[in-house]
Amino acid sequence: MEPFIFHCRNNGKDGFIRLGLTFRMSNEEALAEARENTPLLRRSVTFYMKTRDVNELLSERTRRKILEEIRGNIDKSLKDGRATAVFADEFVVY
């Protein structure tokens, strides 16, 4: 998934997160479905990330947990397979 930037709040101040994700899919059908629904997947990730506190994102352990939760959310939205892993190509908090 191409990197995207979204707004967040950091201790009452405006901030931004730049996030680039790569998904490992269980089969070609799941990959095709994910590509076809990229805008919906991006929106799902954005809504989820806006529920997180920016300070949580500074911990590598928490980032891994967040990626696993994103994988689960993506997995639930697929009909033809599974998202078996999610990797952060970029994960920058401004």
The set of long-range contacts for 6-9, using a CB threshold of 8 Å and a minimum separation of 24, is 6/46, 6/49, 6/50, 7/50, 8/49, 8/50, 8/54, 8/93, 9/54
CA 84 to chain CA centroid, nearest Å: 14
Please tell me the pTM assigned to this model.
0.82
Mean pLDDT split into 10-residue runs, the chain, 94 residues: 82 82 92 91 88 80 91 87 92 84
Task: State residue 70's pLDDT score.
Answer: 92
Task: State residue 25's pLDDT score.
Answer: 93
Task: State residue 67's pLDDT score.
Answer: 92
Task: State residue 33's pLDDT score.
Answer: 92
Task: State residue 87's pLDDT score.
Answer: 94
Task: State residue 48's pLDDT score.
Answer: 87
